[in-house]
Protein backbone atom coordinates (compact mmCIF):
# COMPACT_ATOMS: atom_id res chain seq x y z
CA UNK A 1 0.00 0.00 0.00
CA UNK A 2 1.13 3.60 -0.51
CA UNK A 3 3.12 5.52 2.05
CA UNK A 4 4.52 9.06 2.00
CA UNK A 5 7.59 10.95 3.16
CA UNK A 6 8.45 14.64 3.05
CA UNK A 7 12.03 15.70 2.27
CA UNK A 8 13.26 19.26 2.75
CA UNK A 9 14.88 20.79 -0.35
CA UNK A 10 16.73 24.13 -0.63
CA UNK A 11 14.03 25.60 -2.86
CA UNK A 12 10.99 23.89 -1.38
CA UNK A 13 9.75 20.54 -0.21
CA UNK A 14 9.88 17.22 -2.05
CA UNK A 15 7.11 14.81 -1.10
CA UNK A 16 7.90 11.19 -1.97
CA UNK A 17 5.11 8.63 -2.08
CA UNK A 18 6.31 5.02 -2.17
CA UNK A 19 3.82 2.43 -3.38
CA UNK A 20 3.37 -1.07 -4.74
CA UNK A 21 0.30 -1.50 -6.97
CA UNK A 22 -1.70 -4.68 -7.58
CA UNK A 23 -0.80 -6.59 -10.73
CA UNK A 24 -2.76 -6.16 -13.92
CA UNK A 25 -4.52 -9.51 -13.27
CA UNK A 26 -5.67 -8.49 -9.77
CA UNK A 27 -9.33 -7.99 -8.80
CA UNK A 28 -10.95 -4.70 -9.85
CA UNK A 29 -11.94 -3.91 -6.27
CA UNK A 30 -8.33 -4.30 -5.11
CA UNK A 31 -7.15 -1.93 -7.84
CA UNK A 32 -9.84 0.66 -6.97
CA UNK A 33 -8.93 0.50 -3.28
CA UNK A 34 -5.25 1.04 -4.12
CA UNK A 35 -5.83 4.16 -6.24
CA UNK A 36 -8.37 5.55 -3.71
CA UNK A 37 -5.75 5.25 -0.95
CA UNK A 38 -3.05 6.71 -3.21
CA UNK A 39 -5.30 9.60 -4.16
CA UNK A 40 -6.12 10.36 -0.53
CA UNK A 41 -2.40 10.51 0.36
CA UNK A 42 -1.54 12.77 -2.58
CA UNK A 43 -4.51 15.03 -1.81
CA UNK A 44 -3.07 15.76 1.66
CA UNK A 45 0.22 16.99 0.22
CA UNK A 46 0.39 20.78 -0.21
CA UNK A 47 0.07 21.74 -3.89
CA UNK A 48 3.26 23.84 -3.81
CA UNK A 49 5.31 20.74 -2.89
CA UNK A 50 7.12 18.66 -5.52
CA UNK A 51 5.34 15.31 -5.61
CA UNK A 52 7.21 12.15 -6.66
CA UNK A 53 5.34 8.83 -6.69
CA UNK A 54 7.84 5.97 -6.82
CA UNK A 55 7.73 2.19 -6.58
CA UNK A 56 6.24 -0.52 -8.72
CA UNK A 57 2.87 0.43 -10.20
CA UNK A 58 2.73 -2.72 -12.39
CA UNK A 59 1.51 -0.67 -15.35
CA UNK A 60 2.28 -0.38 -19.06
CA UNK A 61 1.34 2.96 -20.59
CA UNK A 62 2.46 1.91 -24.11
CA UNK A 63 2.93 4.23 -27.07
CA UNK A 64 -0.59 5.72 -27.16
CA UNK A 65 0.62 9.30 -26.79
CA UNK A 66 -2.58 10.69 -28.32
CA UNK A 67 -4.44 9.35 -25.30
CA UNK A 68 -2.55 11.57 -22.86
CA UNK A 69 0.26 13.61 -24.47
CA UNK A 70 0.52 15.97 -21.47
CA UNK A 71 1.61 13.21 -19.03
CA UNK A 72 3.54 10.84 -21.34
CA UNK A 73 6.77 11.20 -23.26
CA UNK A 74 7.13 10.59 -26.98
CA UNK A 75 9.42 7.57 -26.69
CA UNK A 76 7.16 5.11 -24.90
CA UNK A 77 6.91 1.66 -26.53
CA UNK A 78 4.57 -1.31 -26.35
CA UNK A 79 0.82 -1.42 -25.67
CA UNK A 80 -1.16 0.09 -22.80
CA UNK A 81 -2.74 -2.36 -20.36
CA UNK A 82 -5.59 -1.79 -17.85
CA UNK A 83 -3.22 -0.73 -15.07
CA UNK A 84 -1.63 1.69 -17.50
CA UNK A 85 -4.98 3.39 -18.14
CA UNK A 86 -5.57 3.72 -14.38
CA UNK A 87 -2.11 5.23 -13.92
CA UNK A 88 -2.65 7.74 -16.74
CA UNK A 89 -5.98 8.84 -15.24
CA UNK A 90 -4.32 9.26 -11.84
CA UNK A 91 -1.54 11.37 -13.37
CA UNK A 92 -4.04 13.55 -15.25
CA UNK A 93 -6.10 14.20 -12.10
CA UNK A 94 -3.01 15.28 -10.14
CA UNK A 95 -0.99 17.14 -12.82
CA UNK A 96 1.78 14.53 -12.70
CA UNK A 97 4.10 13.26 -15.44
CA UNK A 98 4.77 9.57 -15.99
CA UNK A 99 8.39 8.46 -16.21
CA UNK A 100 9.99 5.06 -16.78
CA UNK A 101 12.80 3.55 -14.71
CA UNK A 102 16.17 2.79 -16.31
CA UNK A 103 15.58 -0.86 -15.52
CA UNK A 104 12.38 -0.87 -17.54
CA UNK A 105 14.04 1.01 -20.41
CA UNK A 106 16.91 -1.50 -20.42
CA UNK A 107 14.45 -4.39 -20.51
CA UNK A 108 12.51 -2.82 -23.38
CA UNK A 109 15.68 -2.09 -25.36
CA UNK A 110 16.93 -5.66 -24.94
CA UNK A 111 13.57 -7.00 -26.06
CA UNK A 112 13.65 -4.75 -29.12
CA UNK A 113 17.20 -5.86 -29.96
CA UNK A 114 16.20 -9.52 -29.71
CA UNK A 115 13.27 -8.89 -32.06
CA UNK A 116 15.49 -7.09 -34.57
CA UNK A 117 18.09 -9.87 -34.38
CA UNK A 118 15.46 -12.55 -34.98
CA UNK A 119 14.10 -10.64 -37.99
CA UNK A 120 17.65 -10.19 -39.32
CA UNK A 121 18.36 -13.94 -39.08
CA UNK A 122 15.02 -14.82 -40.69
CA UNK A 123 15.71 -12.48 -43.62
CA UNK A 124 19.23 -13.87 -44.10
CA UNK A 125 17.93 -17.44 -43.87
CA UNK A 126 15.31 -16.72 -46.55
CA UNK A 127 17.98 -15.26 -48.86
CA UNK A 128 20.27 -18.23 -48.21
CA UNK A 129 17.44 -20.64 -49.04
CA UNK A 130 16.78 -18.87 -52.35
CA UNK A 131 20.50 -18.92 -53.17
CA UNK A 132 20.67 -22.66 -52.37
CA UNK A 133 17.79 -23.33 -54.77
CA UNK A 134 19.76 -21.57 -57.51
CA UNK A 135 22.95 -23.45 -56.68
CA UNK A 136 24.73 -20.25 -55.62
CA UNK A 137 26.90 -21.82 -52.91
CA UNK A 138 29.11 -18.76 -52.61
CA UNK A 139 26.18 -16.64 -51.46
CA UNK A 140 24.97 -19.41 -49.14
CA UNK A 141 28.43 -19.55 -47.52
CA UNK A 142 28.58 -15.76 -47.09
CA UNK A 143 25.08 -15.49 -45.62
CA UNK A 144 25.71 -18.40 -43.25
CA UNK A 145 28.84 -16.72 -41.90
CA UNK A 146 26.91 -13.45 -41.45
CA UNK A 147 24.20 -15.24 -39.44
CA UNK A 148 26.62 -16.99 -37.09
CA UNK A 149 28.93 -13.98 -36.82
CA UNK A 150 32.06 -15.44 -38.43
CA UNK A 151 34.46 -12.77 -39.63
CA UNK A 152 37.15 -13.34 -42.28
CA UNK A 153 40.56 -14.06 -40.78
CA UNK A 154 42.75 -11.57 -42.58
CA UNK A 155 46.07 -9.99 -41.81
CA UNK A 156 48.38 -7.59 -43.64
CA UNK A 157 51.49 -8.89 -41.90
CA UNK A 158 53.43 -12.08 -42.56
CA UNK A 159 56.52 -13.92 -41.35
CA UNK A 160 59.50 -14.74 -43.55
CA UNK A 161 60.96 -18.26 -43.96
CA UNK A 162 62.91 -17.84 -40.72
CA UNK A 163 59.89 -16.72 -38.69
CA UNK A 164 60.79 -13.03 -38.55
CA UNK A 165 57.82 -10.67 -38.79
CA UNK A 166 57.70 -8.56 -41.98
CA UNK A 167 56.05 -5.14 -41.90
CA UNK A 168 57.38 -3.50 -45.06
CA UNK A 169 54.65 -3.71 -47.78
CA UNK A 170 57.17 -4.48 -50.56
CA UNK A 171 58.81 -7.29 -48.59
CA UNK A 172 55.37 -8.69 -47.69
CA UNK A 173 54.35 -8.77 -51.38
CA UNK A 174 57.63 -10.45 -52.34
CA UNK A 175 57.17 -13.06 -49.59
CA UNK A 176 53.66 -13.92 -50.79
CA UNK A 177 54.78 -14.02 -54.43
CA UNK A 178 57.58 -16.46 -53.62
CA UNK A 179 55.32 -18.64 -51.48
CA UNK A 180 52.48 -18.83 -54.02
CA UNK A 181 54.86 -19.44 -56.93
CA UNK A 182 56.35 -22.39 -55.08
CA UNK A 183 52.90 -23.61 -54.04
CA UNK A 184 51.19 -23.41 -57.43
CA UNK A 185 54.08 -24.28 -59.75
CA UNK A 186 55.03 -27.77 -58.71
CA UNK A 187 57.28 -29.77 -61.09
CA UNK A 188 55.29 -32.05 -63.37
CA UNK A 189 55.36 -35.73 -62.52
CA UNK A 190 56.57 -38.04 -65.28
CA UNK A 191 53.56 -40.08 -66.38
CA UNK A 192 55.79 -43.06 -67.17
CA UNK A 193 56.78 -43.31 -63.52
CA UNK A 194 53.23 -43.83 -62.30
CA UNK A 195 51.36 -45.21 -65.32
CA UNK A 196 52.49 -48.56 -66.73
CA UNK A 197 52.79 -49.07 -70.47
CA UNK A 198 49.41 -49.83 -72.00
CA UNK A 199 48.44 -50.47 -75.60
CA UNK A 200 47.02 -47.46 -77.41
CA UNK A 201 43.32 -47.40 -78.13
CA UNK A 202 41.77 -45.65 -81.10
CA UNK A 203 38.80 -43.57 -79.93
CA UNK A 204 36.07 -42.36 -82.23
CA UNK A 205 36.15 -38.65 -81.33
CA UNK A 206 34.53 -35.86 -83.33
CA UNK A 207 37.37 -33.53 -84.26
CA UNK A 208 35.21 -31.02 -86.14
CA UNK A 209 35.01 -27.42 -84.86
CA UNK A 210 32.13 -26.76 -82.47
CA UNK A 211 28.74 -26.11 -84.05
CA UNK A 212 26.45 -23.21 -83.05
CA UNK A 213 24.23 -25.69 -81.17
CA UNK A 214 27.20 -26.99 -79.20
CA UNK A 215 28.33 -23.44 -78.41
CA UNK A 216 24.87 -22.48 -77.11
CA UNK A 217 24.73 -25.65 -74.97
CA UNK A 218 28.15 -24.85 -73.50
CA UNK A 219 27.14 -21.29 -72.68
CA UNK A 220 24.04 -22.54 -70.87
CA UNK A 221 26.18 -24.74 -68.62
CA UNK A 222 28.06 -21.72 -67.27
CA UNK A 223 27.07 -21.16 -63.64
CA UNK A 224 25.89 -17.75 -62.50
CA UNK A 225 27.40 -15.85 -59.59
CA UNK A 226 30.94 -17.09 -60.11
CA UNK A 227 33.87 -14.99 -58.90
CA UNK A 228 35.10 -12.57 -61.58
CA UNK A 229 38.49 -12.65 -63.22
CA UNK A 230 40.66 -9.66 -64.10
CA UNK A 231 38.53 -8.88 -67.19
CA UNK A 232 35.35 -8.35 -65.16
CA UNK A 233 33.27 -10.51 -67.54
CA UNK A 234 30.50 -12.50 -65.88
CA UNK A 235 28.71 -15.67 -66.93
CA UNK A 236 25.52 -13.67 -67.29
CA UNK A 237 27.22 -11.34 -69.79
CA UNK A 238 28.39 -14.26 -71.92
CA UNK A 239 24.96 -15.91 -71.90
CA UNK A 240 23.37 -12.66 -73.03
CA UNK A 241 25.88 -12.21 -75.88
CA UNK A 242 25.84 -15.70 -77.36
CA UNK A 243 22.79 -15.34 -79.62
CA UNK A 244 23.38 -11.69 -80.55
CA UNK A 245 27.02 -12.30 -81.48
CA UNK A 246 26.82 -15.94 -82.54
CA UNK A 247 28.79 -15.34 -85.75
CA UNK A 248 31.65 -13.78 -83.79
CA UNK A 249 31.71 -16.59 -81.25
CA UNK A 250 31.66 -19.31 -83.92
CA UNK A 251 34.53 -17.63 -85.76
CA UNK A 252 36.59 -17.14 -82.60
CA UNK A 253 36.10 -20.64 -81.18
CA UNK A 254 36.69 -22.23 -84.58
CA UNK A 255 39.99 -20.34 -84.89
CA UNK A 256 41.04 -21.49 -81.38
CA UNK A 257 40.08 -25.06 -82.29
CA UNK A 258 42.05 -25.02 -85.54
CA UNK A 259 45.16 -23.28 -84.18
CA UNK A 260 45.05 -25.19 -80.90
CA UNK A 261 46.14 -22.00 -79.23
CA UNK A 262 44.26 -20.15 -76.49
CA UNK A 263 44.32 -16.31 -76.55
CA UNK A 264 46.98 -15.10 -74.14
CA UNK A 265 44.50 -12.82 -72.35
CA UNK A 266 42.38 -15.86 -71.50
CA UNK A 267 45.25 -17.47 -69.62
CA UNK A 268 45.50 -14.68 -67.03
CA UNK A 269 44.15 -15.32 -63.55
CA UNK A 270 43.87 -13.75 -60.12
CA UNK A 271 45.34 -15.60 -57.14
CA UNK A 272 43.45 -15.17 -53.89
CA UNK A 273 44.42 -16.43 -50.43
CA UNK A 274 42.16 -18.55 -48.24
CA UNK A 275 43.02 -19.07 -44.59
CA UNK A 276 43.06 -22.68 -43.34
CA UNK A 277 43.95 -22.73 -39.63
CA UNK A 278 46.74 -21.96 -37.21
CA UNK A 279 48.89 -18.83 -37.13
CA UNK A 280 47.59 -16.38 -39.75
CA UNK A 281 51.07 -14.82 -40.03
CA UNK A 282 52.50 -18.05 -41.48
CA UNK A 283 52.17 -18.36 -45.26
CA UNK A 284 51.89 -22.14 -45.06
CA UNK A 285 48.58 -21.77 -43.22
CA UNK A 286 47.01 -20.22 -46.29
CA UNK A 287 46.15 -21.84 -49.60
CA UNK A 288 46.07 -20.08 -52.94
CA UNK A 289 43.33 -20.37 -55.54
CA UNK A 290 43.72 -19.18 -59.11
CA UNK A 291 40.55 -17.42 -60.30
CA UNK A 292 40.50 -17.99 -64.05
CA UNK A 293 38.58 -15.90 -66.56
CA UNK A 294 35.04 -17.03 -67.35
CA UNK A 295 35.65 -17.33 -71.15
CA UNK A 296 38.36 -19.99 -70.62
CA UNK A 297 35.63 -22.27 -69.26
CA UNK A 298 34.08 -22.45 -72.72
CA UNK A 299 36.93 -24.60 -74.01
Q: List pLDDT tens digits, range 54-67.
A: 888 888 877 655 55
pLDDT of residue 262: 82
pLDDT(30) > 80: yes
Contact 15, 44 (CB under 8 A): no
For residue 137, how many other CB atoms are within 10 A of its CB? 12
Q: List pLDDT tens digits, range 238-271.
A: 777 777 777 888 888 888 888 888 887 777 777 7
54 strand-pairing partners = 18
**φ, ψ (nearest 5 deg) of residue 259:** -80, -15
20 strand-pairing partners = 56
For residue 56, how many other CB atoms are within 10 A of its CB? 12
- Closest of 119, 239, 236 to residue 127, by C-alpha: 119
- Distance of alpha carbon 22 from its chain centroid, rounded? 43
| pTM of the predicted model as reported, rounded to 2 decimal places | 0.38
Least confident of 14-28, 150-164, 207-221: 150-164
Q: List pLDDT tens digits, range 171-193.
A: 988 888 888 888 777 666 665 55
Sign (positive or negative) of CA dihedral 240, 245, 251, 252: negative
Q: Can you tell me the distance from the alpha carbon of 115 to that of 111, in angstroms, rounded to the nearest whole number?
A: 6
Q: Would you tell me the crossing angle of helices 102-133 and 137-148 to the nearest 10 degrees?
A: 170
Q: List pLDDT tens digits, range 49-101.
A: 888 888 888 888 776 555 566 777 655 556 788 888 888 888 888 888 877 65
Angle value at C-alpha 175, between 169 and 176, nearest 5 degrees: 90
Using the 8-state DSSP alphabet, how is residue 126 labeled?
H
pLDDT of residue 4: 47
Q: Can you tell me the distance from the alpha carbon of 159 to that of 170, in angstroms, rounded to the nearest whole number?
A: 13
Q: Can you tell me the distance from the alpha carbon of 171 to that of 159, in angstroms, rounded to the nearest whole number?
A: 10
Element (H, E) at 292: strand 286-292
pLDDT of residue 73: 62
Amino acid sequence: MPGSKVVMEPHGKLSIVACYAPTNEADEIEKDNFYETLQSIVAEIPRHNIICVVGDVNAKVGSCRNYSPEVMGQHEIGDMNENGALLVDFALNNDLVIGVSYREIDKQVKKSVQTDKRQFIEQKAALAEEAAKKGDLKTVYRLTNEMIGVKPNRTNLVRDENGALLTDPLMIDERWAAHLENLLNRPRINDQDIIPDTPFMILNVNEEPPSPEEIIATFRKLRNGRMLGVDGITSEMLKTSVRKYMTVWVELLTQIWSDQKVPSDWTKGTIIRLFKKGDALVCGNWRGINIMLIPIKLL
